[in-house]
Amino acid sequence: MSSADKSKASLSKEAKLTSELATILDERSLTDIELETESLSIRVSRTPATQNVVASAPAMAAAPAPTPAAAPAAAPADAPAASGGDDYANHAGAVKSPMVGTYYESAEPGAAPFVKEGDTVAKGQTICIIEAMKVMNTITASQAGTVKHIACENGQPVEYDQLLVVIE
């Protein structure tokens, strides 16, 4: 096989892999996905045309601008609750994590939290940040109302579909 043929085969393999990563990105509603091997590094990212907030996580010198993530809809009644059986897991105002990551209540260490129990929030208002793969993803209120319950502690790891906040 000639050098040119090897180069074309390699590009074809990389293009196919990139396409597969883009499909996974869409299927899982991720904001970005990255694959890195010794000889290859591919990153596929989606940049929504929405508000970005600069935030940093504890013990980080500088953090990338967060990629907003839409607050997920309430899970169907037959779906298992990933929140450990919390009484609020199936509440109509439950805001659940759209990804695995680390929960942060404020934009930077020592700053006031975005929301506290009892606060009134507007639809679309930032309620927390989930850090996933060093990307800060803002989580917004899915509805206007009062923060009834905050289910996470600052810096706590969270799972996909885990209860974060309840808004009534």
Q: Can you give the pLDDT at residue 119?
A: 94
Q: Is the pLDDT of residue 84 over 50?
A: no
Give yes or no: residues 39 and 58 share one domain: no
* Residue 40 shares a structural domain with residue 57: no
**Residue 13 — very low, low, confident or very high, per pLDDT cuts 50/70/90?**
confident
Residues 62 and 9 in one domain: no
At residue 59, the pLDDT reads 45
Tens digit of pLDDT for each residue in 89-126? 788 889 999 999 999 999 988 899 999 999 999 999 99
Please say whether the beta carbons of 128 and 105 come within 8 A. yes
The answer to whether residues 104 and 122 belong to one domain is: yes
Identify whether residues 94 and 152 lie together within a single domain.
Answer: yes
pTM over 0.75: no
On whether both 101 and 124 belong to a single domain, the answer is yes
At residue 18 the predicted structure's pLDDT band, cuts being 50, 70 and 90, is: confident
For residue 134, pLDDT over 80 is answered with yes
Terminal alpha carbon distance of the chain: 66
As a whole number of angstroms, the distance between CA 103 and CA 158 comes to 6
Same domain, 79 and 121: yes
User: Is pLDDT of 145 > 60?
Assistant: yes
Do 130 and 73 lie in a common domain? yes
Q: Are residues 39 and 109 in the same domain?
A: no
Q: Are residues 60 and 24 in the same domain?
A: no
Domain that holds residue 23: 3-45
Report how many domains make up the chain. Answer: 2
pLDDT of 157 over the 80 cut: yes
Pair (81, 146) in one structural domain? yes
Length of the chain: 168
What lies within 8 Å, CB to CB, of 19 at 6+ separation is: none
The CATH number for 98's domain is: 2.40.50.100
The whole-number average pLDDT for the span 63-81 is 46
DSSP β-bridge partners for residue 96: 163
Same domain membership, residue 37 and residue 16: yes
